[in-house]
Amino acid sequence: MRVLIIKMTSMGDVLHTLPAVTDAHNNITGIRFDWVVEKAFVEIPGWHSAVDRSIPLSLRNWRRAPGQWLGGEVRKALHDLRKEKYDYVIDAQGLFKSAAIACLARGKSAGYSPDSAREPLAARIYSHHTSIPGHLHAIDRTRLLFAHTLGYEPPQAKPDYGLSRDDFSMTHVPTQPYLVFNHASAWSTKCWPEAYWHDLIRRAGDRDLKVLLPWGDESERKRATRLTQGHQHADVLPRMKLNQLAAVLTHATAAVSVDTGLGHLAAALSTPAVSIYGATDPERTGTVGENQRRIGASFECSPCLSRQCTYNGPSEVTPACYSTVSPDRVWGTLLSYIDRGDI
């Protein structure tokens, strides 16, 4: 059986689809996958042994420059999309744009029913629908979608991302134990206050732990640079590909993350981690994996699921919900790993 997956973005969503691939591989002999994914995340599907081909689509760039739809890049993408005949084309994104891409591929299209898709109009395109309860975690929803579509019993086992830590090696592994602080997000409401990060970095130094700060774009690099100021044991990482960042996370003592793709990558690799949630709901999209601790804000409007904070009341920090997720609380949770010998 050959199956095409449509799951393009975001990084966390792409990672959340991997356990469903493992389920199908374990239940259907000989099943193989191709995967349509945003170009920025094209490395991820190939980390799973059941995925043969990643088909990159740069929809984000095409929105910024619509003229590219007429260029060679889009023609190649459409050619790659239609190169194979598939038994099923599973749209795990649930958006109208992803459903449209599924319609262009050669195979029986499948996805969420109108009451389950993020954009109900998308369901009108599929030839096969599945109704999935909306309150479930994103990983569980995708696992159920694959099971119902491909015809096997929904697995009861814990999610298995199908990744091997041995596949991610570093040329130069730091001799000093280190933490990775995944500080950046495109949503301002997901960003833990910089003053809190400085506090956490200082505490790491007191325990002789080095701190490494990754980044993706220029604004994130500047933020990482600000966070290292005054801390000789904290370094800004160079620009890295995802497989290089995976290696850094694999060899880390632990990680602390806001709700960001690298936090989900740490979970997929079973790197001990503490993840911080304010605007988003850890029960529906939080990190899942071995050695994971999730801390959600306890605030009147959290989780708001909004990119912009609209709270107008008094607060010492912004976003205000993070006043309930203090450095003491995060560090104490991290120490629960360190002091009991888990890391």
- pLDDT band, residue 338 (cuts 50/70/90): low
Query: Among residues 301, 268, 5, 260, which one has the least CA distance to residue 139?
Result: 268
Query: 166-339: which CATH topology?
Result: Rossmann fold (3.40.50)
What predicted TM-score, i.e. pTM, was given to this entire model? Answer: 0.94
Sequence spans of domains, the chain: 2-150, 166-339
Is-same-fold flag (2-150; 166-339)?
Answer: yes
* Proportion of the chain above pLDDT 90, given as a percent: 87
Q: In the CATH scheme, what architecture does the domain 2-150 have?
A: 3-Layer(aba) Sandwich (3.40)
Mean pLDDT of 217-226: 98
pLDDT digits (tens, 9 = 90+) for 112-165: 999 999 999 999 999 999 999 999 999 999 999 999 999 999 999 999 999 999
Mean pLDDT of 224-245: 97
Residue 294, pLDDT > 60, answer yes
- pLDDT band, residue 26 (cuts 50/70/90): very high
The whole-angstrom separation of Cα 223 and Cα 214 is 10
pLDDT digits (tens, 9 = 90+) for 317-328: 999 999 999 999
